[in-house]
Amino acid sequence: MRRFDYKATERASGKNVKGSIQANDERSAGKLLLEQGYIPQTIVPHDKDGVFAKYKNKIRAKDRILFTRQFATLIGVGLPLAASLRSVAEQTQSKAMKAVIEEISASVEAGKSLYEAFSRRPDIFNNVYLSLIKAGEMSGTLDVALRRLADQEEKDEAMLSRIRSALIYPAIILVVIIAVLAFMMIAVVPQVDALYTDLKKPLPELTKFLVQLTNFFGAYWWLVMMLLIALVGGIGFYFKNTKPGQKTRDSLKIHAPLFGALFRKLYVSRFARTAEMMLATGVPMLDSIKIAIGAANNIVVEEEYSKALDIIKGGKPLSEAIKDREYMLPLVPQMTAIGEESGRIDEMLGKAAQVYETELDQQINTISTMIEPILMVIMAGLIGVVIGGTLLPIYSLVTSIV
């Protein structure tokens, strides 16, 4: 979808307004404005941000969480929907999020339900979000549903932030390794080659290999860069834009050494937490499980978990349906069975999710601690090879001369 700037006249009051709207093309944008009660005057593509538009207009997770939290608070104190949306829009600092809120507000004022208004932006509000909006709107507990959404999104963002933070230090170490090796190859190895040439001495085999490697990169660096960019771009495109690639990527996540167990716990906790939230808000069991499966955000896991849906449709309890599923950790069906007996399935699913979220925190810290010495050993080994091919031959040469 693209963003368009418009000027229009409000049909009810005759007031001139301007703003922005998301649509596939100008015609679709005009149709949306008419549905919202406006008579379009001009509709032009929003291009003033140029090639950086998609980055400047990106909705960050924290902007969506803040909006959800503020919206829930205002609805909870009894403020009407349209007034609540206008108030939140006025307080929002993000221009991109503000434009989205104004678009939702215009749809609500035009007579659309809140669910219909939010559904216009599936690129921002996923199925979990939309389903909870619909359930809250139908049951009259919209503020409760929104607060649950904000809580869940905060937990998800915090977890992803911890994973990203755990990978920052290893990434820095990797950059240092590459920089040191590049410096040794560029500055030191050619000097050793020149010294041996001047003295008409044969190079040691390791040093000869390093010299040849340096000469190759010096002569064909452009070819190496092109191949590297093509390789990275090709792999990225395959993993992101093709179904076989997406399935391969997701399979690698759950089977990767060291990280596989972490990802499995992440997907299980997402499933359990989302199912808890859906059931507690009044969404029917089958719909809740469908949405919870999608919340895992892993094709391989979703395909395996989806096998439970047919079992549930056949009249079996949830605990039995998920018991023998691959990638489903045992605590979830056990806690679900307890919940079925006590009539508190949502609460038991929430407790199972809490257990795995706590274990995830501990495992992230453990992995972060383990990666550091592993990378240090790798760095020492690589630098040792370069030093062995440069400094030791110099030492041998000086010894032979003396």
DSSP, residue by residue, 17-47: EEEEEEESSHHHHHHHHHHTTEEEEEEEE--
Domains of the chain by residue range: 2-152, 165-402
- Give the span between the Cα atoms of 270 and 147, in whole angstroms: 17
Describe the strand order of the beta sheet including 38-45 as a list of residue ranges.
Answer: 16-23, 2-10, 38-45
Backbone φ and ψ for 3, nearest 5 degrees, come out as -105, 135
**The pLDDT value given to residue 27:** 76
306 with 289: CB under 8 angstroms?
Answer: no
Region 250-269: mean pLDDT is: 88
Task: Indicate the range of 203-212, 321-330, 355-364, 390-399 predicted with least confidence.
Answer: 390-399
Could you give the C-alpha distances from 80 to 36, 73, 113, 114, 145, in angstroms and in order? 18, 12, 13, 12, 16
Tokens of 328: 């489903």
Which range scores top for mean pLDDT: 23-37, 161-175, 342-356? Answer: 342-356
User: Which residue in this structure is represented by tokens 């507000």?
Assistant: 105
Tokens of 55: 């980055």
29 with 1: CB under 8 angstroms?
Answer: no
Q: Which residues contact 371 (CB under 8 A, 6 or more apart)?
A: 166, 169, 170
pLDDT at residue 335 greater than cutoff 90:
yes
- Give the span between the Cα atoms of 93 and 350, in whole angstroms: 33
User: HSE-up of 134 (CA within 13 Å, CB side)?
Assistant: 15
Confidence of residue 46 (pLDDT cuts 50, 70, 90): low
pLDDT at residue 280 greater than cutoff 50:
yes
Region 314-341: mean pLDDT is: 91
Torsion of CA 105, 111, 116, 117, to 10 degrees: -10
Rounded (to 5) percent helix, strand, coil in the chain: 75, 5, 15
- The secondary structure of residue 50, as a DSSP letter, is G
271 with 329: CB under 8 angstroms?
Answer: no
Confidence of residue 337 (pLDDT cuts 50, 70, 90): very high
Could you give the C-alpha distances from 70 to 67, 98, 150, 191, 247, in angstroms and in order? 5, 13, 9, 65, 37
Architecture of the domain defined by 2-152: Up-down Bundle (1.20)
Residue 393 vs residue 298, higher pLDDT: 298
Region 134-138: mean pLDDT is: 80
Region 23-50: mean pLDDT is: 74
Tell me the torsion sign for CA atoms 67, 70, 72, 75. Answer: negative
pLDDT at residue 94 greater than cutoff 50:
yes
pLDDT at residue 100 greater than cutoff 70:
yes
Tell me, yes or no, if the two domains 2-152 and 165-402 fold the same way.
Answer: yes
Q: Where are the alpha helices (DSSP H) in 36-112?
A: 53-56, 61-76, 81-91, 95-109
- The secondary structure of residue 201, as a DSSP letter, is -
pLDDT at residue 51 greater than cutoff 50:
no
pLDDT at residue 259 greater than cutoff 90:
no
pLDDT at residue 379 greater than cutoff 90:
no
Could you give the C-alpha distances from 364 to 160, 166, 262, in angstroms and in order? 10, 7, 8
Backbone φ and ψ for 229, nearest 5 degrees, come out as -65, -45
Region 331-355: mean pLDDT is: 92
Region 11-15: mean pLDDT is: 79
Q: Which residues contact 112 (CB under 8 A, 6 or more apart)?
A: 35, 36
Confidence of residue 397 (pLDDT cuts 50, 70, 90): low
Q: 21 pairs with which residues across the strands?
A: 4
In one-letter notation, the amino acid at residue 349 is L
Which range scores top for mean pLDDT: 179-188, 338-347, 363-372? Answer: 338-347
**The pLDDT value given to residue 50:** 47
pLDDT at residue 369 greater than cutoff 80:
no
Query: Global pTM?
Result: 0.69
pLDDT at residue 52 greater than cutoff 50:
no
Confidence of residue 167 (pLDDT cuts 50, 70, 90): confident
CATH superfamily to which 165-402 belongs: Type II secretion system (T2SS), domain F (1.20.81.30)
